[in-house]
């Protein structure tokens, strides 16, 4: 039992190391992808994409574009929900996705 | 017996961590596929129309969306420099990030729900490095749940 | 008061970070409490012209 457990734990150690390596590589690939200037230009969705994604027509879709590290806080006071946005690196853009 | 017990604890901990890391890797693969698909789609449509879409009709990543019923009353205060916003909702709402929107647009080829057609699987495999292809194939059948033993 | 803080403005990397917030907003009894308020509240007397 001891020998089997030792063997399994060493296999799991190898598998975890491999996962760590793949996750690191994936994060790097994603960062390179999103920082590429061409991809930055082509990395957009259209308003109708948003409308299609939130199917019910009675939905209002508000879009928030914020600089990195903007803090969003959602609190639950007794009368309703409060959402606050605080940026330290630039203005925040908020707009409603227009109807079709 | 004591050593066996310690090894058993170690084994459980590693299995838990591997499970968590596999879902993290799965999410990263989905995001990579979704983003590449989005860029490809936009590139093709711009080539077809021979011009970029009007600036006020597109929303560049990164963004988040808040969707709520049109009946919801939203009270909004904005600081002059637009660095701070305060919203008060009088009804329920949902917040989603851009990746969630891309998934709903089908940009992740259905891998996020483990329903991927053979041609979508081919597309998805073509969008990731070789080392990740086995994971993509695995994801096409549902969430990854077996431990890839190296060697 | 329960509150949740999340950093926005970056894409990718993290998994669905709004799941907990959406659960809080959509599951708490505040919304059902609000609904009963709306239903239960007596109709406001119309202002005399």
pLDDT score recorded for residue B151: 29
Indicate whether A100 pLDDT > 50. yes
Q: Taking CB atoms and an 8 Å cutoff, what residues of chain A touch C10?
A: 68-69
What mean pLDDT comes out for the span A26-32? 92
C37 or A99, greater pLDDT: A99
Helix (H, G, I), strand (E, B) or coil at A60: strand
- pLDDT of B150: 34
Shortest alpha-carbon distance between residue C44 and chain A (Å): 19
Tell me what pLDDT residue B145 has: 60
The complex's ipTM works out to 0.80
Query: Distance (Å, rounded) from C-alpha B113 to C-alpha C26?
Result: 23
Range A26-48 average pLDDT: 93
Q: In this predicted model, what pLDDT tens digit does every residue of B21-62 receive, in sequence order? A: 988 898 999 999 999 999 999 999 999 999 888 888 899 999
- Residues of C in Cβ contact (< 8 Å) with A87: 9
Output the average pLDDT for chain A. Answer: 89
Chains contacting B with at least 3 CB pairs below 8 Å?
A, C
Determine, for residues B91 and C34 on separate chains, whether the beta-carbon distance falls below 8 Å. yes
Collect all residues with Cβ–Cβ distance below 8 Å to B130 and sequence separation of at least 6.
none
Quick: pLDDT tens for B91-131.
Answer: 889 999 999 999 999 999 999 888 888 999 999 999 999 98
Quote the CA–CA distance of B116 and C40 in Å, as a whole number: 49
Return d(Cα A99, Cα B15) in angstroms, integer. 48
Cβ pair B83:A97 closer than 8 A: no
How close, in Å, is residue C49 to chain A by CA atoms? 31
Q: Compute the distance between CA of residue C7 and CA of residue B68 in angstroms, rounded to an integer.
A: 21
Q: pLDDT-based confidence at A34, cuts 50/70/90?
A: very high
How many CB atoms neighbour CB A93 within 10 A? Answer: 13
Q: Which residues contact B22 (CB under 8 A, 6 or more apart)?
A: A19, B144, B145, B147
Residue C46, classed as helix, strand or coil, is coil
A24 → chain B, closest CA residue: B25
Which of B20, B28, B83, B95 to mutate to test binding with chain C, by most C CBs within 10 Å of its CB? B95
B2 pLDDT above the threshold of 90: yes
Average pLDDT over residues B66-70: 91
Buried-state track A43-82, b at ≥16 Cβ within 10 A, e below 16: bbbbbebbbebbeeeebbbbbbbbbeebbbebebeeebbb
What share of chain A in percent tops pLDDT 90?
71
**pTM of the shown model:** 0.84
* Cα–Cα distance, A76 to C26 (Å, whole number): 11
**Nearest-CA distance from A38 to chain C in Å?**
16
Q: Do residue B94 and residue C26 have CB atoms under 8 angstroms apart?
A: yes
Q: Which residues of A touch C5 (CB under 8 A)?
A: 71-73
């Amino acid at each position: 039992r001891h020998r089997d457990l030792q063997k399994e734990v060493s296999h799991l150690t190898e598998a975890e190391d491999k996962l760590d390596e793949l996750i690191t590589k994936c994060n790097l690939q994603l960062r390179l992808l999103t920082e590429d200037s061409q991809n930055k230009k082509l990395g957009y969705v259209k308003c109708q994409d948003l409308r299609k994604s939130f199917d019910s027509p009675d939905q209002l879709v508000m879009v928030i574009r914020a600089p990195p590290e903007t803090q969003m806080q959602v609190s639950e006071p007794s009368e309703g929900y409060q959402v606050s946005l605080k940026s330290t690196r630039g203005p925040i853009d908020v707009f409603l996705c227009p109807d079709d | 017996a004591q050593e066996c017990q310690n090894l058993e604890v170690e084994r459980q901990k590693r299995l838990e961590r591997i499970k968590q890391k596999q879902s993290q890797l799965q999410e990263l693969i989905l995001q990579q596929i979704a983003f590449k698909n989005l860029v490809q789609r936009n590139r093709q449509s711009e080539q077809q129309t021979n011009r970029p879409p009007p600036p006020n009709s597109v929303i560049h990543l990164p963004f988040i969306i808040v969707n709520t019923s049109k009946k919801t009353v939203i009270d909004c205060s904005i600081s002059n420099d637009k660095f701070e916003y305060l919203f008060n909702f009088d009804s329920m709402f949902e917040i989603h990030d851009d990746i969630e929107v891309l998934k709903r647009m089908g940009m992740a080829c259905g891998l996020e729900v483990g329903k991927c057609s053979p041609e979508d699987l081919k597309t998805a495999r073509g969008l990731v490095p070789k080392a990740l292809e086995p994971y993509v194939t695995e994801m096409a059948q549902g969430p990854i749940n077996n431990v890839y033993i190296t060697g | 008061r329960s509150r949740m803080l999340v950093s926005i403005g970056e894409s990718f990397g993290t998994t669905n970070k709004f799941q907990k917030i959406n659960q809080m907003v959509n599951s708490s009894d505040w919304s059902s409490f609000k609904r009963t308020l709306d239903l239960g509240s007596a109709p406001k007397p119309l202002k005399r012209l």
